[in-house]
Amino acid sequence: MDGQILQQILKKLDSIEGEQREMKQILGKLDSIENEQAGMSHKLQSIEDEQKDMKREQQTTNQRLRKIESLVVDIPLVRQAALETLDVSKRLESAQVSLERKVASQLHTHEFGIDILNREQLSVKTEIEKLKRK
């Protein structure tokens, strides 16, 4: 009976050793899972950090976009002012050309009148000289 008990004890020990090996394998797998979980946690933290950076960049971009939009609103007004200035400039140039022609015409008329007066003065002077000689 001692042999049988020893056999049962040996079987039980073998069974316990097998279970212990299985538990070690399971613990190894659990360690591996924990390592993977830690890696995933690190990756998740990295993704969250990137997401925060992207949100900050998006806010900055939105601010810049609002500023650009406010500037773009003024473009039609600036364009209208430029067109009006161009129109005024063209009218002034046209008026200046017309005024130059008028002044040139009057100058020519005055020049012609002065020439006539000079001739008449010369004629009067000549007549005076003739009268003085007589």
Report residue 28's pLDDT band, with 50, 70 and 90 as the boundaries: very high
Alpha-carbon span 84 to 87, nearest angstrom: 5
What does the pLDDT read at residue 1?
66
Q: Which residue has the tokens 């129109």?
A: 87
Q: What percent of the chain has pLDDT over 70?
A: 99
Sequence-ordered alpha helix ranges (H) in the chain: 2-73, 75-133
What does the pLDDT read at residue 133?
86
Q: What token pair was written down for 119?
A: 């001739």
pLDDT at 125 > cutoff 70: yes
Domain boundaries, the chain: 1-73, 92-134
Report residue 36's pLDDT band, with 50, 70 and 90 as the boundaries: very high
pLDDT at 63 > cutoff 70: yes
